[in-house]
């Protein structure tokens, strides 16, 4: 069958390759005996729950250890990667058998319940990536750790309960390129310039600790020299001043939320990243205005200015932004008439509780990709101008405004509308009854409108057309 036609030759080769691939390789062992016995001893030293453990439980001495789940070897049979993430491991790692993993480059222990920082891992000479995200690590990390992993470049300790000052060993590692320390309980004062020594740094996350971060203020500072920086997350870092980020021309993600900034948002910040910034959060600060003149670059995909004290003109968002959050401000002004033109690909727009006045501009109907629209808790007046063009809407919250007129019938044609709230307005007339969704809304979607009638409200509509 394999000789019949030349066009079939490639199929034959494929079949032969598949056959070879499935059979002989598993019989000759690639794994070095030293690596196998050390891995097996490591397994015996680890405390893990057999129930959530998918990987360690399947390790089997009669198999090539390079084929064990979570294990990767190089050609010569040395262990290069060990991924025991999400495998129910508890306690510490004190095994003396780590010593033989001289080629181990990547160790992934994310989503376990390790309780103390496994210091011995820092003696692995080839280690480049260490992942300990979401464990149960607590207490301060010793100042006197022996470090031999000088090529360590990615460290993720996020989402643990580590305390004390930022670990000193980190600053002995010149190759750090990504450092994620968020959501711990690190304390103390840290200067951003301390990270300036990591010439390859592309990601830094210090968010949600108990740190006081002192920003660099000069363009000549060492932090400013980190031109490869792609992601900077400094949420909840008690900063009083915005770091000087004018030199960081590659920044794509910038989170400066929940700090202590106030006054005008300086207009240079919009150009941080030199046209590459996609995510910007300045939420939960005390900014009161936007320094003029300003323009948003078209690169933004997420823009969060929520929970500030912004007053005055509502900024017209950049035109290709998916998520826009302007909630919890004090604008005291109306939504510009052409605002909807900027929302043509926006998925979520929120400007709740922000002292917005005037009417909802009918340009909102151009926002045909919107799934979440929240204009609640403002002073919006006039009619609901929605004409059914917002066919993707899942959530529409217009509650607590001064909207009047009827609820547009066209809203009943929005098939995916899961949540509607027009409560506490001045709407009147009969609640539309058609479509798939409207019959599922309860009176809680409509209460607080004196003029509304018909199900699901108990008030019936005018005596003439009442059906008994
Ligand atoms: C280990 O693998 C061998 C050969 O594939 C198999 O016979 C044996 O049942 C396995 N042992 C365990 C504990 O899974
Ligand atoms: C560290 O990295 C350098 C450059 O990539 C390499 O030459 C060196 O062998 C590495 N050292 C270890 C111990 O892996
Ligand atoms: C996490 O550590 C605390 C002590 O800090 C301990 O009480 C708790 O049982 C640990 N949780 C798990 C899942 O191991
Ligand atoms: C953080 O550490 C302080 C003491 O340094 C302690 O009082 C506090 O409960 C810790 N917070 C968390 C969330 O672990
Ligand atoms: C933050 O750290 C200070 C000491 O620097 C401590 O007094 C305070 O309890 C900590 N706060 C939290 C929430 O852990
Ligand atoms: C910023 O972008 C412009 C145009 O893309 C480019 O010419 C310039 O070199 C960039 N500046 C930096 C500092 O990378
Ligand atoms: C908008 O920001 C507010 C306050 O910061 C937050 O509570 C809310 O969840 C955000 N909404 C969306 C849709 O992201
Ligand atoms: C609509 O908003 C009002 C006022 O905030 C609230 O009482 C009501 O429960 C909300 N309705 C729904 C369906 O959540």
Residue 60: nearest ligand to its CA?
1
Q: Does 307 have pLDDT greater than 50?
A: yes
Residue 353: nearest ligand to its CA?
7
- Cβ atoms of 361 and 335 within 8 Å: the answer is yes
275 lines ligand 6 (CB under 6 A): yes
Domain boundaries of the chain, sorted by first residue = 311-468
Bridge-partner residues for 304, per DSSP? 281, 325
> How many residues in the chain?
468
Q: How far is the CA of 226 from the centre of ligand 5 (A)?
A: 30
Assigned token pair, 89: 């491991």
Q: Does 16 have pLDDT greater than 60?
A: no
Q: How far is the CA of 274 from the centre of ligand 2 (A)?
A: 33
- Cβ atoms of 346 and 322 within 8 Å: the answer is yes
- 96 band by pLDDT with thresholds 50, 70 and 90: confident
- Cβ atoms of 154 and 177 within 8 Å: the answer is yes
295 lines ligand 5 (CB under 6 A): no
Indicate the pairing of strand 372-374 with strand 395-397. parallel
- Cβ atoms of 113 and 93 within 8 Å: the answer is no
**61 Cα nearest atom in ligand 1:** 1
pLDDT at 287: 98
Assigned token pair, 412: 């009943």
153 lines ligand 2 (CB under 6 A): no
What is the mean pLDDT of the segment spanning 409-420? 94
Assigned token pair, 255: 């989170």
CATH of 311-468, one of 3.40.190.10, 3.30.9.10, 3.40.50.620, 3.80.10.10: 3.80.10.10
pLDDT at 445: 96
90 lines ligand 3 (CB under 6 A): yes
The CA distance from 255 to 233, in Å, is 5
pLDDT at 29: 62
Q: How far is the CA of 423 from the centre of ligand 8 (A)?
A: 6
Q: How far is the CA of 26 from the centre of ligand 1 (A)?
A: 14
Q: How far is the CA of 139 from the centre of ligand 4 (A)?
A: 10
DSSP letter for 461, please.
P
DSSP letter for 357, please.
B
- Cβ atoms of 261 and 240 within 8 Å: the answer is yes
| CB burial of residue 298 (10 Å; 0-12, 13-18, 19+) | exposed
212 lines ligand 5 (CB under 6 A): no
* Alpha helix stretches (DSSP H) within 303-405: none
Q: How far is the CA of 382 from the centre of ligand 8 (A)?
A: 20
**Which amino acid residue places its CA nearest to atom 13 of ligand 3?**
113
Of residues 122 and 13, the one with the higher pLDDT is 122
DSSP letter for 359, please.
B
Q: Does 147 have pLDDT greater than 60?
A: yes
Q: Which of helix, strand or coil describes residue 349?
A: strand
**Which amino acid residue places its CA nearest to atom 6 of ligand 4?**
185
**Which amino acid residue places its CA nearest to atom 14 of ligand 1?**
60
Cα torsion 402, 407, 413, 417: sign: positive
Q: How far is the CA of 122 from the centre of ligand 7 (A)?
A: 40
Count of CB atoms situated within 10 Å of the CB of 62: 4
379 lines ligand 3 (CB under 6 A): no
Q: How far is the CA of 40 from the centre of ligand 1 (A)?
A: 15
> Which of 276, 166, 173 lies closest to 231 in space, CA to CA?
276
> Which of 197, 201, 251, 243 lies closest to 219 in space, CA to CA?
243
**pLDDT per residue over 189-247, tens digit each?**
999 999 999 999 999 999 999 999 999 887 788 999 999 999 999 999 999 999 999 99
**Which amino acid residue places its CA nearest to atom 14 of ligand 3?**
113
**pLDDT per residue over 360-403, tens digit each?**
999 999 999 999 999 999 999 999 999 989 999 999 999 999 99
Q: How far is the CA of 63 from the centre of ligand 1 (A)?
A: 8
The CA distance from 184 to 390, in Å, is 42
Angle at 21 between CA 16 and CA 23, to 5 degrees: 100
Residue 26: nearest ligand to its CA?
1
pLDDT at 379: 97
> Which of 287, 283, 286 lies closest to 302 in space, CA to CA?
283
The CA distance from 66 to 79, in Å, is 8
| CB burial of residue 213 (10 Å; 0-12, 13-18, 19+) | buried
**138 Cα nearest atom in ligand 4:** 14
The helix or strand, by DSSP H or E, that contains position 15, with its residue range, turns out to be helix 9-22
Bridge-partner residues for 108, per DSSP? 83, 131
Largest alpha-carbon pair distance within the chain?
A: 91
- Cβ atoms of 370 and 392 within 8 Å: the answer is yes
32 lines ligand 6 (CB under 6 A): no
pLDDT at 416: 93
As for ligand 4, residues whose beta carbon falls within 6 Å of it are 161, 163, 185, 187
Assigned token pair, 183: 């959501």
What is the mean pLDDT of the segment spanning 109-115? 95
pLDDT at 102: 93
């Amino acid at each position: 069958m394999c000789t019949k036609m030349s066009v079939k030759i490639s199929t034959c080769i494929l079949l032969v390759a598949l056959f070879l691939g499935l059979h002989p390789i598993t019989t000759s062992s690639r794994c070095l005996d030293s690596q196998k016995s050390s891995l097996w001893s490591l397994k015996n030293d680890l405390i893990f729950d057999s129930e959530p453990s998918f990987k360690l439980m399947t390790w089997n001495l009669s198999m090539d250890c390079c084929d064990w789940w979570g294990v990767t070897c190089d050609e010569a049979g040395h262990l290069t990667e060990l991924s025991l993430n999400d495998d129910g491991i508890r306690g510490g790692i004190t095994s003396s058998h780590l010593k033989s993993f001289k080629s181990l480059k990547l160790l992934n222990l994310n989503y376990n319940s390790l309780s103390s920082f496994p210091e011995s891992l820092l003696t692995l000479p080839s280690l480049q990536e260490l992942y300990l995200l979401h464990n149960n690590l607590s207490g301060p990390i010793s100042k006197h750790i022996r470090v031999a992993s000088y090529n360590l470049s990615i460290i993720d300790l996020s989402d643990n309960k580590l305390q004390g000052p930022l670990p000193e060993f980190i600053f002995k590692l010149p190759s750090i390129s990504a450092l994620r320390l968020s959501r711990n309980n690190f304390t103390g004062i840290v200067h951003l310039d301390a990270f300036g020594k990591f010439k390859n740094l592309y990601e830094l996350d210090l968010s949600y600790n108990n740190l006081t971060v002192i920003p660099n203020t000069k363009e000549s500072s060492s932090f400013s020299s980190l031109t490869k920086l792609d992601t900077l997350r400094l949420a909840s870092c008690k900063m009083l001043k915005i770091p000087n980020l004018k030199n960081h021309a590659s920044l794509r993600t910038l989170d400066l939320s929940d700090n202590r900034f106030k006054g005008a948002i300086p207009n240079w910040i919009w150009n941080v990243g030199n046209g590459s910034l996609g995510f910007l959060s300045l939420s939960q600060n005390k900014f009161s205005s936007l320094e003029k003149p300003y323009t948003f670059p078209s690169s933004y995909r997420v823009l969060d200015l929520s929970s500030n004290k912004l007053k005055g003109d509502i900024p017209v968002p950049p035109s290709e932004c998916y998520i826009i959050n302007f909630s919890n401000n004090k604008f005291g002004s109306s939504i510009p008439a052409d605002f909807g033109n900027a929302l043509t690909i926006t998925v979520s727009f929120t400007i709740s509780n922000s002292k917005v006045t005037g009417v909802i501009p009918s340009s909102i109907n151009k926002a045909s990709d919107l799934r979440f629209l929240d204009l609640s808790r403002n002073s919006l007046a006039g009619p609901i101008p929605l004409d059914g063009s917002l066919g993707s809407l899942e959530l529409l919250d217009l509650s607590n405004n001064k909207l009047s007129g009827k609820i547009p019938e066209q809203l009943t044609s929005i098939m995916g509308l899961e949540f509607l709230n027009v409560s506490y307005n001045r709407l009147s007339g009969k609640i539309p009854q058609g479509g798939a969704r409207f019959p599922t809304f309860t009176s809680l979607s409509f209460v607080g409108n004196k003029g509304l009638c018909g199900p699901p409200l108990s008030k019936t509509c005018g005596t003439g057309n009442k059906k008994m």
